[in-house]
Amino acid sequence: MPAPMKVYLAGPEVFLPNGREVIEAKQALTRRYGFEPNVWLGEGEPPPAEPFAFGLYISAANEAVMRDSDLIIANLTPFRGISADIGTAYELGFMCAMGKPAFGYTNDPRGYVERLTGDFYAGKVEADAEGVLRGTDGLMVEDHGMVDNLMVDGGIDRNGGVIVRRRVEPARILDDLGALEECLGIARDRLPG
Amino acid sequence: MPAPMKVYLAGPEVFLPNGREVIEAKQALTRRYGFEPNVWLGEGEPPPAEPFAFGLYISAANEAVMRDSDLIIANLTPFRGISADIGTAYELGFMCAMGKPAFGYTNDPRGYVERLTGDFYAGKVEADAEGVLRGTDGLMVEDHGMVDNLMVDGGIDRNGGVIVRRRVEPARILDDLGALEECLGIARDRLPG
């Protein structure tokens, strides 16, 4: 039996009040689908205490884990705004550059244009003289029928994945794992081993 | 004389009402500092008209240009929220995975924690029982003394770059090029050629 593929589980769970439990639940679910959730085991040395140095340490650790992972599953649920967590977007690009399989999921079933138009511009968008839809600040309202920015959806599509969308109870938007589970099932079916 | 290094100019300028002019101004400035702004020259075939397919086409084009570029300079000015444009974050991760030099700039001189605390939580953050600062929604308020998420700052730091911060007139926050110019000067000084 081959070793299980290693998954980089990207997402903003570390910021949740119940972050540790949610991360452990994600890892357990990942194992149940035959994958190994990849984690940083440390280097023996204690991490630096100074905040900037500590941030660099975590960033380097995450990149090391990504290089050691076979695929990424990214939680793209909007975080502190209308788009996915920006650290997760960076990590998705990082894995896509290496050509590794990439999957995503979101607990907001709406597309980017719906969140932008409805949540950010409160419905106040208008076509300009050339027919381009713009918000009250003049910025273009792009609509590619995608979950988020085209680089996010495009990277996942090109690396063999899908983005699973779910509607969940509002109180569970950042920790419901139903969409992750569906995503793991699809990844298991699509990938070798 | 060696060929100039090719720069991938990442940022949300395409969404601006004056997007074309701003992009051309960025390219002209980049040339003035001895670099070649790298752009997509097309494949001869017309791009697909269907929105999702068109989005994938642009995404693939951007990735092809990134693979052909020697470094990235990313406009990290907050876009539609408290963080950088999510497409730009993806692109930064993409270039950092390839180990290419990465630089950034922002026209908001504040750090992430100041935007998160001031703009997003309107000052309403409190330490929990363990001394961890949290917003009204219970999410952790992280402070690494960084411009944005630690993956963004960490990737740039590790790939030899800096993030230039500027304060500009509010009306020019998305198109002032002073910080880009400073960034180009630093990149020219640090890179060979």
Q: Is residue B186 part of a domain?
A: yes
In a shared domain, residues A140 and A162: no
Quote the pLDDT of residue A45: 82
Instruction: Say if CB A83 and CB A89 are below 8 A apart.
Output: yes
- The distance in angstroms from the start CA to the end CA of chain B is 8
Of A56, A63, A139, the CB nearest to B15: A139
Query: Is it the case that residue B43 has pLDDT exceeding 80?
Result: no
Question: B159-179, pLDDT tens digit by residue?
Answer: 999 999 999 999 999 999 999
Query: Do B17 and A96 count as a contact with CB atoms less than 8 A apart?
Result: no
Query: Do A134 and B17 count as a contact with CB atoms less than 8 A apart?
Result: yes
Quote the pLDDT of residue B46: 87
- Among chain A residues, the shortest Cα distance to B51 is held by A144
Quote the pLDDT of residue A41: 78
Quote the pLDDT of residue A40: 83
Contacts B82 to A, Cβ<8 Å = 80-81
Distance from CA of A1 to the nearest CA of B (A): 31
Give the contacts of B192 (CB within 8 A, at least 6 positions apart). none
**Separation between Cα atoms, residue A66 and residue A64, nearest integer Å:** 5
Stretch (H or E) spanning A189: helix A178-190
Of B58, B60, B95, the CB nearest to A158: B60
Of B59, B128, B148, the CB nearest to A86: B148
Quote the pLDDT of residue B139: 97
In a shared domain, residues B105 and B118: no
Q: Is residue B1 part of a domain?
A: no
CATH for A104: 3.40.50.450
**Separation between Cα atoms, residue A97 and residue B98, nearest integer Å:** 7
Q: Is residue A152 part of a domain?
A: yes
Distance from CA of A14 to the nearest CA of B (A): 8
Residue B170 has what DSSP assignment?
A: G
In a shared domain, residues A184 and A128: no
In a shared domain, residues B68 and B136: no
Helical packing angle, A19-32 and A178-190, nearest 10°: 30
Q: Which of A77-81, A163-167, B31-35, B42-46 has the least mean pLDDT? A: B42-46
**Separation between Cα atoms, residue B142 and residue A177, nearest integer Å:** 24
**Separation between Cα atoms, residue B155 and residue A56, nearest integer Å:** 8
Number of domains, chain A: 2
Rounded to the nearest integer, the mean pLDDT of chain B is 96
Quote the pLDDT of residue B61: 96
Distance from CA of A191 to the nearest CA of B (A): 22
Instruction: Count how many pairs of residues, chain A against chain B, have C-beta atoms within 8 Å.
Output: 185
Quote the pLDDT of residue B40: 83
Of A82, A85, A93, the CB nearest to B94: A93
Query: Do B85 and A149 count as a contact with CB atoms less than 8 A apart?
Result: yes
In a shared domain, residues B138 and B157: no
**Separation between Cα atoms, residue A44 and residue B47, nearest integer Å:** 52
Q: Of B47, B4, B7, B16, which Cα lies nearest the Cα of B174?
A: B16
Residue that wins the pLDDT comparison between B26 and A45 = B26
Q: Of A39, A90, A85, which Cα lies nearest the Cα of B155?
A: A90
Query: Is it the case that residue B96 has pLDDT exceeding 70?
Result: yes
Stretch (H or E) spanning A186: helix A178-190
Residue B55 has what DSSP assignment?
A: H
Quote the pLDDT of residue B2: 81
Region label for A41, one of left (φ > 0), alpha (ψ between -120 and 50) or beta (otherwise) = alpha
The full 3-state SS of A69-138, as one line of letters, equals CCEEEEECCCCCECCCCHHHHHHHHHHHHCCCCEEEEECCCCCHHHHHHHHHCCCCEEECCCCCEEECCC
In a shared domain, residues A104 and A65: yes
ipTM value: 0.97
Q: Is residue A84 part of a domain?
A: yes
Contacts B51 to A, Cβ<8 Å = 143-145
Of B83, B94, B144, the CB nearest to A86: B83
In a shared domain, residues A77 and A138: no
In a shared domain, residues A70 and A55: yes
Give the contacts of B47 (CB within 8 A, at least 6 positions apart). B54, B57, B58
Quote the pLDDT of residue A193: 66
Q: Is residue B30 part of a domain?
A: yes
In a shared domain, residues A11 and A78: yes
Q: Is residue A127 part of a domain?
A: yes
- Among chain A residues, the shortest Cα distance to B142 is held by A15
Instruction: Give per-10-residue mean pLDDT for chain A (193 aa).
Output: 93 96 98 96 84 96 97 98 98 98 98 97 95 95 97 98 98 97 98 82
Does residue B140 sit in helix, strand or coil? strand
In a shared domain, residues B92 and B173: yes
Q: Is residue A1 part of a domain?
A: no
Q: Where does residue A54 rank: exposed (0-12), middle (13-18), buried (19+ CB within 10 A)?
A: middle
Quote the pLDDT of residue A35: 98
Quote the pLDDT of residue B193: 66
In a shared domain, residues B71 and B140: no
Instruction: Pull the structure tokens for residue A63.
Output: 């990149």
- Among chain A residues, the shortest Cα distance to B140 is held by A15
Q: Is residue A30 part of a domain?
A: yes
Q: Which domain holds residue B136?
A: 112-145
Question: B100-134, pLDDT tens digit by residue?
Answer: 999 999 999 999 999 999 999 999 999 999 999 99
Instruction: Pull the structure tokens for residue A87.
Output: 């650290």
Number of helices (H), then strands (E), in chain A = 6, 7
**Separation between Cα atoms, residue B33 and residue B11, nearest integer Å:** 19
- Tell me the residue type at A135: G
In a shared domain, residues B81 and B157: yes
